């Protein structure tokens, strides 16, 4: 009864926005910040229920990532450090749309019963809270706290301004009984980076490679955190621009989303930067793309996107695995052959998929959205996933990692300092450097940098792994985006009827043509992606398919 009154009172202080239906979407609720308070309050309650149900620590992140500064959003981090289980998404939607405190309360009561959540005031719940640098973040975080405190036994731990991947990392660490502070995060990624640097072969160590990278921080949280991280590193010089301290507006003509979609230099970069290795983070630092400025006469860049980061990672991992599996002089337990898999979405450039397959890798496709890629990657011993937009990571299975640790010990005794042992150590360090909870621009940046140093490669050499097919993305505003439904990892539209046939009829007109449409998970639009052998052809294919959709 006390619990009922508490919830009723608390939710009567927050009014849901009228006439808008918010949905949990691909990556949580997102909208103009001015209408989000009641939703965030409710998500606070939901997070507390999730913690009670799982008897573990969960996270709640306030961010709208690469979207404009006046937007904001909220999402829940599950105990594993991954996204909220998809089974709870429909309930999140229902909660957000309840019109009165009473309706809200009855939804909660019903759900608590159905899910057998121990809402008795005896069990405790703990929620880690984080937010990006958006000005609206502070008051939204307050709303989340009020939601959490309306559940008996629930406590909120406010961790302040964090990147999204930092919060995911901390939730995962907490539930593994590890230290879950920001210093612990920085310590883990910087020390594993140093290990990888120490293991660079002497031949490439002496090659005079440029160890400077210039990073566009999107005027968000990532730049700020990178300033801290860079002071803990040697053998890498990081110059951060668009740190948010210079008065620049978050994601405005800057950031990974802008750079990847527009393929032009972000604000703060100019013709003086021709030839430098540059990188761009998004507003909450879970995406990373690289680029270089080819000439001083145009704003166009050479983009090195998520697909190429994936290719670089896959190449390195595969190399280390093959060194590891070479028969040494000693007879050692060589039995565990790691299953290595690569996960992409339909947005992956066709040339990247061809390249990966030709390199002998198993490539799998999923629908857009980190939760889908992550789930598939977790089915491999080593699963590498990336979206072309720069979100991705490498997952190592527990069983393979413990085999690798044992193997490393064994090699340490039998052939200390051998190539095989170095390969084992490198793989172990990658597992510590790369965020196992979610894609993380900061840890991916360090891994890219150390692999380039390892190989003695410039950004140009890396970019030449394969040549991207020209592509074009368009969006079409529609009244009802749910009218379009897709299958086969979003490559085939199954409704409205006949639309796929019309798309196919256009696509066959273009050499190397490939085209798909899908409803956005974050905006009221249908997205069109087209690829072809020339830019003109890709533009024209995208244009005619957009007309079919309209």
Q: Closest separation between CB of residue 23 and ligand 16G, Å? A: 12
Task: By CB under 6 A, tell whether 368 contacts ligand 16G.
Answer: yes
Write the DSSP assignment of 416-476 as a string of letters.
TT-HHHHHHHHHHHHHHHS-SSS--HHHHHHHHHHHHHHHT--HHHHHTTS-PPPEEEEEE
78/284 with CB nearer Zn ion: 284
Cβ proximity of 109 and 119 under 8 Å = no
Alpha-carbon span 256 to 261, nearest angstrom = 8
| Interface with Zn ion (CB under 5 A) | 65, 282, 284, 286
Q: Would residue 235 show up in a list of annotated catalytic residues for this protein?
A: no
Region 62-121 residues binding ligand 16G, contact defined as CB under 6 A: 65
- Report what 115 binds from Zn ion, ligand 16G, none; CB cut-off 5-8 Å by kind: none
Q: Closest separation between CB of residue 386 and Zn ion, Å? A: 14
| The pair of three-digit structure tokens given for residue 126, joined into one six-digit string | 């703990």
Q: Return the SS3 of 210.
A: coil
Question: Catalytic pick from 38, 65, 280, 540?
Answer: 65
- Report what 368 binds from Zn ion, ligand 16G, none; CB cut-off 5-8 Å by kind: ligand 16G
Q: Closest separation between CB of residue 287 and ligand 16G, Å? A: 8
CA 355 to chain centre: 23
Alpha-carbon span 128 to 402, nearest angstrom = 29
Alpha-carbon span 4 to 7, nearest angstrom = 5
- Report what 93 binds from ligand 16G, Zn ion, none; CB cut-off 5-8 Å by kind: none
Task: By CB under 6 A, tell whether 527 contacts ligand 16G.
Answer: yes
- Binding-site member from 522, 540, 544, 549 for ligand 16G (CB under 6 A): 522
Task: By CB under 6 A, tell whether 474 contacts ligand 16G.
Answer: no
- Binding-site member from 41, 241, 391, 422 for ligand 16G (CB under 6 A): 391
Q: Closest separation between CB of residue 214 and ligand 16G, Å? A: 25
Question: What residues are paired with 131 via a beta bridge?
Answer: 62, 161
Q: Which single residue is written with the structure tokens 């990247």?
A: 352
Task: By CB under 6 A, tell whether 419 contacts ligand 16G.
Answer: no
- Report what 521 binds from ligand 16G, Zn ion, none; CB cut-off 5-8 Å by kind: ligand 16G
Alpha-carbon span 323 to 420, nearest angstrom = 6
157/474 with CB nearer ligand 16G: 474
Long-range CB pairs of 506-513, under 8 A, 24+ apart, other chains included = 506/541, 506/544, 506/545, 506/548, 507/541, 507/545, 509/541, 510/537, 510/538, 510/540, 510/541, 511/537, 512/350, 512/469, 513/537, 513/541
Alpha-carbon span 498 to 488, nearest angstrom = 17
- Binding-site member from 16, 79, 369, 513 for ligand 16G (CB under 6 A): 369
Cβ proximity of 263 and 389 under 8 Å = no
Q: Closest separation between CB of residue 392 and ligand 16G, Å? A: 9
Q: How many CA atoms lie within 13 A of 488 on its CB side?
A: 7
101/390 with CB nearer Zn ion: 390
Q: Which single residue is written with the structure tokens 């390892």?
A: 454
| The pair of three-digit structure tokens given for residue 311, joined into one six-digit string | 């290719």
Ranges of H-type helices in 231-378: 256-262, 306-324, 350-358, 370-377
- Sign of dihedral through CA atoms 245, 246, 247, 253? negative
| The pair of three-digit structure tokens given for residue 381, joined into one six-digit string | 């011993």
Which of 12-20, 176-184, 289-297, 518-526 is the region at the interface with ligand 16G (rule: CB under 6 A)?
518-526
282/307 with CB nearer Zn ion: 282
Q: b/e map of 64-92 (b: 16 or more CB within 10 Å)?
A: bbbbebebbbbbbbbbbbbbbeeebbebb
Nearest residue by C-beta to Zn ion? 65
- Report what 144 binds from ligand 16G, Zn ion, none; CB cut-off 5-8 Å by kind: none
Q: Closest separation between CB of residue 523 and ligand 16G, Å? A: 5
475/512 with CB nearer ligand 16G: 475
Cβ proximity of 427 and 447 under 8 Å = no
Q: How many CA atoms lie within 13 A of 284 on its CB side?
A: 31
- Report what 520 binds from Zn ion, ligand 16G, none; CB cut-off 5-8 Å by kind: ligand 16G
- Binding-site member from 387, 449, 468, 531 for ligand 16G (CB under 6 A): 387
- Report what 284 binds from Zn ion, ligand 16G, none; CB cut-off 5-8 Å by kind: Zn ion
Q: Closest separation between CB of residue 286 and Zn ion, Å? A: 4
Q: Closest separation between CB of residue 163 and ligand 16G, Å? A: 12
Cβ proximity of 270 and 287 under 8 Å = no
Number of shown-chain residues binding ligand 16G (CB under 6 A): 14
161/348 with CB nearer ligand 16G: 348
Task: By CB under 6 A, tell whether 389 contacts ligand 16G.
Answer: yes
- Binding-site member from 3, 10, 16, 27 for ligand 16G (CB under 6 A): 27
> 33's torsion region: left (phi>0), alpha (psi -120 to 50) or beta?
alpha
With the CA atoms of 359, 360, 365 and 371 taken in that order, what torsion angle do they form, in degrees rounded to the nearest 10? -90
Task: By CB under 6 A, tell whether 523 contacts ligand 16G.
Answer: yes
Task: By CB under 6 A, tell whether 244 contacts ligand 16G.
Answer: no
Which of 86-94, 296-304, 368-376, 498-506 is the region at the interface with ligand 16G (rule: CB under 6 A)?
368-376
Question: What residues are paired with 474 via a beta bridge?
Answer: 528
Task: By CB under 6 A, tell whether 367 contacts ligand 16G.
Answer: no
User: Annotated active-site positions, please?
Assistant: 65
Residues that bind ligand 16G (CB under 6 A): 26-27, 65, 368-370, 387, 389, 391, 520-523, 527
């Amino acid at each position: 009864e006390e619990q009922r009154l508490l919830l009723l009172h608390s939710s009567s202080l927050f009014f849901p926005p009228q006439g808008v239906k918010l949905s949990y979407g691909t990556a949580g609720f997102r909208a103009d910040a001015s209408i989000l308070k009641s939703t965030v309050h409710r998500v606070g309650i939901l997070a507390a229920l999730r913690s009670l149900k799982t008897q573990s620590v969960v996270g709640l992140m306030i961010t709208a990532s690469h979207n404009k500064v006046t937007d904001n959003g909220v999402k829940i981090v599950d105990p594993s450090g991954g996204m909220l289980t998809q089974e709870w998404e429909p309930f999140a939607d229902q909660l957000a749309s309840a019109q009165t405190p009473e309706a809200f309360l009855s939804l909660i009561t019903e759900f608590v019963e159905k899910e057998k959540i121990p809402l008795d005031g005896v069990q405790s719940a703990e929620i880690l809270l984080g937010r990006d640098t958006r000005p609206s973040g502070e008051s939204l975080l307050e709303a989340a706290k009020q939601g959490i405190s309306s559940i008996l036994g629930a406590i909120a731990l406010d961790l302040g301004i964090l990147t999204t991947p930092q919060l995911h990392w901390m939730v995962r660490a907490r539930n593994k009984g590890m230290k879950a502070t920001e210093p612990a995060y920085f310590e883990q990624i910087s020390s594993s980076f140093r290990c990888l640097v120490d293991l660079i072969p002497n031949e490439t160590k002496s090659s005079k490679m440029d160890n400077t990278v210039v990073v566009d921080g999107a005027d968000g949280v990532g730049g700020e955190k990178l300033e801290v991280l860079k002071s803990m590193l040697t053998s890498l010089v990081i110059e951060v621009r668009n740190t948010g301290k210079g008065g620049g507006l978050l994601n405005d003509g800057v950031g990974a989303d802008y750079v990847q979609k527009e393929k032009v230099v972000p604000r703060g970069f100019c013709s003086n930067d021709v030839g430098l290795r540059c990188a761009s983070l998004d507003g909450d630092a879970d995406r990373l793309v690289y680029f270089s400025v080819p000439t001083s006469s145009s704003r166009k860049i050479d983009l090195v996107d998520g697909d190429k980061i994936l290719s670089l990672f896959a190449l390195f991992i595969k190399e280390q695995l093959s060194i590891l599996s070479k028969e040494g002089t000693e007879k050692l337990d060589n039995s565990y052959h790691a299953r290595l898999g690569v996960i992409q979405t339909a947005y992956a450039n066709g040339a990247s998929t061809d390249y990966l397959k030709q390199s002998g890798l198993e490539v799998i496709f999923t629908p857009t959205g980190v939760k889908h890629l992550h789930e598939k990657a977790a089915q491999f011993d080593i699963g590498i996933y990336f979206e072309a937009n720069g979100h991705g990571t490498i997952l190592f299975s527990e069983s393979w990692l413990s085999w690798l640790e044992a193997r490393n010990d064994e090699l340490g005794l039998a052939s200390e300092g051998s190539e095989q042992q170095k390969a084992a150590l490198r793989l172990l360090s990658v597992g510590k450097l790369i965020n196992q909870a979610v894609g993380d621009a900061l840890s991916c940046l360090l891994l890219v940098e150390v692999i380039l140093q390892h190989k003695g490669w410039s950004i140009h050499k890396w970019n030449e792994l394969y040549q991207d097919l020209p592509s074009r993305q368009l969006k079409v505003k529609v009244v009802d985006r749910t009218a379009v439904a897709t299958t086969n990892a979003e490559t085939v539209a199954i409704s409205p009827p006949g639309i796929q046939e019309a798309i196919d009829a256009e696509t066959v007109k273009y050499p190397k043509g490939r085209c798909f449409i899908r409803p956005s998970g974050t905006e009221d639009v249908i997205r069109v992606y087209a690829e072809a052998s020339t830019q003109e052809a890709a533009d024209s294919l995208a244009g005619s398919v957009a007309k079919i959709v309209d």
